Structure 1
Amino acid sequence: MPNVSEARGILNSADVLFTAEQVSAAVERMAAEITEKLGETYPLVLSVMGGAVVFTGQLLPRLAFPLDFDYVHVSRYGDKTKGGELVWRQAPKEDVQDRVVLVLDDILDEGETMAAIRDRVLNMGAKAFYSGVFANKLISKSKPIAADFVGIDVPDRYVFGYGMDVRGSWRNLLSNLCAEISRSVPPT
Structure 2
Amino acid sequence: MDSIQIHDKHFVPFISRERIDKYVEFLADQITSDLEEGDVPIFIGILNGSFMFAADFMKKFKGDCHITFVKMASYEGVNSTGKIKHLVGINEDLKGKTVIILEDIIDTGNTLAEIYEIFRDKEVKKLKIATLFFKPDVFRKELPIDYIGKSIEDKFVVGYGLDYDGLGRNLPDIYQLKV
Structure-2 change in CA distance of 1:152 and 1:172 (3 Å): same
Number of residues of Structure 1 aligned to a counterpart in Structure 2 = 175
- Check if 1:7 corresponds to 2:32: no
**Which residue of 2, 10, 16 maps to 1:19?**
16
How much does 1:140 deviate? Answer: 4.6
- 2:128 matched residue in structure 1: 130
- State how far apart, in whole Å, the 2-side matches of 1:164 and 1:108 are: 12
> Does the CA-based 8 Å contact 1:35-1:64 persist in structure 2?
yes
Structure-2 change in CA distance of 1:130 and 1:141 (3 Å): closer
1:120-152 deviation digits (Å, cap 9, x = unpaired): 113121111001111101315533324211111
Structure-2 change in CA distance of 1:112 and 1:21 (3 Å): same
> Does the CA-based 8 Å contact 1:162-1:171 persist in structure 2?
yes
Q: Answer with 38-47 or 75-84: which moved more.
A: 75-84
- 1:170 matched residue in structure 2: 168
- Cα RMSD (Å) of the superposition? 2.1
How much does 1:39 deviate? Answer: 5.9
Gaps of at least 5 residues in structure 2 are none
Tell me the TM-score normalized by structure 2.
0.88
SS in 1 for 2:149: strand
- 2:109 matched residue in structure 1: 111
- Check if 1:99 corresponds to 2:103: no
- State how far apart, in whole Å, the 1-side matches of 2:158 and 2:51 are: 14
How much does 1:156 deviate? Answer: 0.7
> Does the CA-based 8 Å contact 1:16-1:180 persist in structure 2?
yes
Q: Which has the higher strand share?
A: 2
Tell me the TM-score normalized by structure 1.
0.84
Moved >4 Å (runs of 4+): none
Q: Answer with 75-84 or 143-152: which moved more.
A: 75-84
How much does 1:77 deviate? Answer: 2.1
- Check if 1:179 corresponds to 2:137: no
Structure-2 change in CA distance of 1:126 and 1:78 (3 Å): farther
- 1:35 matched residue in structure 2: 32
* One-letter amino acid matched to 1:119: E
- State how far apart, in whole Å, the 2-side matches of 1:68 and 1:128 are: 15
* One-letter amino acid matched to 2:168: W
> Does the CA-based 8 Å contact 2:74-2:83 persist in structure 1?
yes
- State how far apart, in whole Å, the 1-side matches of 2:139 and 2:66 are: 35
- The within-5 A match list for 1:49-60 is 49-60=47-58
